[in-house]
């Protein structure tokens, strides 16, 4: 069991405190390909932030590989984010003044890997994602699908055990959405990486093997989806 959450609560303090997560219990096995699905305001982004150690939680337990993630120092949290978890964002979040290969290199820069080794590894990953010829291009010279593949390469380069994808297809058209989801599925099968996709699109969720529904800060139905036939809109309408 790789990821475990027990009774996780999160409240955003403010003029009007917002109780977003109201006791999340969840376990995700090593090598799973799951989606967390919910409408906006359901708490799915907050859950993702907690899973990614980008945010803290108030109550409960979050355990990765048997280690409790709570009250970490900045250094420890940065270490986890750097080595254990890879992020894929809706808006790609590539650094605009860096080329594709430099963006992919960046996590290794913070690991202190030397420049040549970094470059070699980054080129290797870009090659695997079919972007070798685009290595020297800046993000604004690439299509959405290409940018997302650069972002995936960046997430993969540190060999993370977990990849967290926040609406990975949110800014892509339906064709590239399918490609990106297939790529994630392939990575899951071939590398055995645990992939957690957060989405509000049923089509995207349908590509994963397990769909965890979240509603009003509580885990709802959990669908096993080995057959990939869970789409509310039928199997023919894949996405959008």
Partner 1 sequence: MRLDTDTFREIADSLVRNKRRSLLTGFGVFWGLFMLLFLIGGGAGLKEMLSKNFAGFANNTVILISSNTSKPYKGLQEGRYWNFEYKDVERLRQMVPELDVVAPMISAWSGNVAYGSHSSSASVKGITADYDKVETSQIKYGRFINEMDVEQERKVCVIGKDIYNELFPDGGDPCGNYVEVGGIHLRVIGVDFSSGNMSINGRASRTVTMPITVAAKIYHRGNTVDIICITGKSGVKMTSLESRLRSVMGRQHSFDPTDEQAMVILNTQQIFSIVDNLFRGLNFLVWLVGLGTLLAGAIGVSNIMMVTVKERTVEIGIRRAIGALPSEILSQILMESVSLTLLAGSFGIVFSVLMLSGLEAITKHEAVFQIGFGTAIVAALLLAFLGALAGLAPALRAMNIKPVEAMHDE
| Binding interface with partner 1 (CB under 8 A) | 45, 49, 52, 54-55, 74-75, 78-79, 81-83, 87, 89-91, 93-98, 102, 106-107, 109-112, 114-115, 154, 158, 166
Other Cβ atoms closer than 10 A to 161: 17
Could you give phi then psi for residue 108, rounded to 5 degrees?
-70, -30
Three-state SS for 187? helix
| Rounded least distance, CB 74 to partner 1, Å | 5
Nearer of residues 87 and 125 to partner 1, judged by Cβ: 87
Please, what is the minimum distance in Å from the beta carbon of residue 135 to partner 1?
16
Q: Which residues contact 51 (CB under 8 A, 6 or more apart)?
A: 3, 62, 85, 162, 164, 196
Q: Which residue number, 109 or 233, has a Cβ lying nearer to partner 1?
A: 109
Cross-strand pairs, 6:
61
Query: Judging by beta carbons within 10 Å of its beta carbon (0-12, 13-18, 19+), is residue 116 exposed, middle or buried?
Result: exposed
- Count H helices and E strands in the chain, helices first: 7, 10
Distance (Å, whole) CA 35 – CA 128? 24
CB nearer to partner 1: pick between 99 and 188:
99
Query: Which residue's CB is nearer to partner 1, number 34 or number 198?
Result: 198
Which of 38/210 has CB closer to partner 1? 38
Smallest gap from residue 134 Cβ to partner 1 (A):
18
We find the least distance from the C-beta atom of residue 12 to partner 1, in angstroms, to be 12
Torsions phi, psi for 121 (to 5 deg): -60, -45
For partner 1, the closer of residues 93 and 228 by Cβ is 93
Closest CB 199 distance from partner 1, rounded Å: 14
Runs of H (alpha helix) within 97-173: 100-111, 115-128, 144-156
- Find the shortest distance in angstroms from Cβ 227 to partner 1: 32
Which lies closer to partner 1 via its Cβ, residue 114 or residue 236? Answer: 114
Q: Shortest distance, CB of residue 181 to partner 1, whole angstroms? A: 20
Burial of 21 (0-12, 13-18, 19+ CB in 10 A): buried
Give the pairing type, strands 33-37 and 18-28.
unpaired
């Amino acid at each position: 069991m790789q990821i475990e959450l027990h009774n996780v609560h999160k409240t955003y303090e403010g003029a009007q405190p917002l109780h977003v997560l109201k006791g999340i219990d969840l376990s995700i096995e090593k090598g799973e390909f799951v989606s967390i699905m919910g409408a906006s305001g359901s708490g799915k982004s907050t859950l993702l932030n907690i899973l990614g150690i980008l945010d803290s939680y108030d109550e409960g337990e979050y355990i990765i590989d048997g280690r409790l993630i709570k009250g970490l120092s900045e250094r420890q949290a940065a270490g986890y984010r750097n080595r254990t978890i890879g992020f894929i964002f809706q808006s790609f979040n590539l650094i605009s003044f860096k080329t594709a290969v430099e963006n992919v290199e960046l996590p290794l820069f913070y690991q202190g890997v030397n420049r040549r080794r970094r470059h070699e590894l980054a080129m290797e990953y870009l090659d695997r994602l079919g972007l070798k010829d685009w290595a020297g291009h800046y993000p604004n010279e690439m299509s959405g699908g290409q940018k997302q593949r650069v972002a995936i390469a960046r997430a993969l380069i540190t060999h993370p055990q977990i990849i967290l994808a926040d609406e990975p297809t949110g800014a892509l058209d339906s064709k590239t959405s399918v490609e990106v989801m297939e790529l994630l599925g392939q990575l899951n099968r071939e590398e055995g990486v645990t992939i957690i996709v957060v989405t509000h699109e049923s089509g995207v969720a349908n590509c994963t093997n397990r769909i965890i529904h979240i509603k009003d800060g509580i885990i709802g139905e959990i669908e096993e989806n080995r057959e990939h036939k869970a789409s509310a809109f039928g199997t023919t309408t894949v996405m959008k």
